[in-house]
């Protein structure tokens, strides 16, 4: 079994693959500091809770945008699962060409999403990842990834709203029954959700227009992407496990070079 780990700014998402089938998915917070032993014990328990034996894990791959936890997490995997993880970083085989001005500064999560979208759905493809930040990345027909837009995520925008305005409460992020809001909570929900739909549609439209790829397929993933994808025709596909699928695909391209 392959354990795929996506370390984000808010959560660590983990998936267990048997072949190309995702057989289990679980999350843990990325904000809580942990020792390697704490990570190791947590990983083993979470794997068991999925009905799997940790000894069945024969490979691990990680994409991380939080460098500070990587030493403890990698050490935990070596100590408790018995494998040296493969880390998505510069020089790894991905099957696409990263043509940003500084590829080493391109987030591993964006590369992984681009790989998954390109190999699962073809190019040109625009990948929208609704996370702590919302990213819009374009992969061209030949597999070149060099264009990307970064915006605050919807939860990040929401926290800024209620932490920066003393009289506004913290609200659940969901679409209200109507944009014709008559009280504070639904007013904030309308602004957040409908405002974000507008941003999404505009950025996708501009990417298509300025790149010339007007027929590019749009694939969304992450966080509240399911809510937003259902509310706009600009998104063609919502795939909640896109990043994990990308990790699996990258592992397949690199597994011969993995040292045990």
Q: Which residues are catalytic?
A: 109
Q: Which of 175, 179, 157, 112 is nearest to 139 (CA)?
A: 112
Element (H, E) at 241: none
Alpha helices, H only, 122-241: 154-164, 184-211, 225-229
For the beta carbon of residue 56, count every other beta carbon within 10 angstroms: 11
Please provide the size of the chain in residues.
260
Query: Peptide bond preceding 124: is omega within 30 degrees of 0, i.e. cis?
Result: yes
Report DSSP state, residue 123: S
Who contacts 7 (Cβ-Cβ below 8 Å, separation ≥6)?
30, 62, 63, 64, 65, 66, 69, 70, 73
- What gap in Å lies between CA 5 and CA 30, rounded to an integer? 12
Phi then psi dihedrals of residue 197, to 5 deg: -60, -45
Tell which residue, 181, 191, 201, has the closest CA to residue 158.
191
- Is 48 exposed, middle or buried (CB count within 10 Å of its CB: 0-12, 13-18, 19+)? exposed
């Amino acid at each position: 079994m392959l354990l795929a780990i996506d370390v984000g700014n808010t959560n660590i998402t983990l998936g267990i693959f048997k072949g190309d089938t995702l057989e289990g998915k679980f999350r843990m917070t990325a904000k809580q500091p942990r020792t390697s032993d704490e990570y190791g014990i947590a990983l083993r328990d979470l794997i068991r809770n999925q009905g799997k034996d940790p000894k069945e894990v024969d490979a691990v791959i990680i994409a991380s945008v939080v460098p500070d936890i990587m030493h403890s997490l990698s050490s935990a995997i070596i100590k408790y699962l018995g494998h040296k993880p493969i880390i998505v970083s510069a020089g790894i085989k991905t099957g696409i060409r990263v043509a940003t001005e500084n590829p080493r500064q391109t987030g591993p999560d964006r590369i992984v999403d681009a790989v998954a979208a390109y190999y699962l759905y073809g190019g040109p493809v625009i990948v929208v990842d609704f996370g702590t930040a919302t990213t819009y990345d374009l992969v061209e027909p030949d597999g070149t990834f060099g264009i990307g837009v970064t915006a605050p995520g919807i939860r990040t925008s929401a926290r800024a709203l209620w932490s920066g305005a003393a009289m506004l409460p913290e609200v659940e992020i969901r679409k209200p029954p109507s944009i014709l809001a008559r009280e504070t909570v639904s007013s904030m929900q309308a602004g957040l959700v409908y405002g974000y739909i507008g941003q999404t549609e505009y950025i996708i439209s501009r990417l298509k227009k300025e790149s010339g790829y007007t027929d590019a397929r749009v694939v969304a993933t992450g966080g509240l992407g399911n809510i937003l994808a259902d509310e706009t025709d600009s998104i063609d596909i919502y795939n909640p496990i896109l990043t994990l699928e990308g990790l699996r695909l990258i592992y397949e391209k690199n597994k011969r070079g993995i040292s045990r």
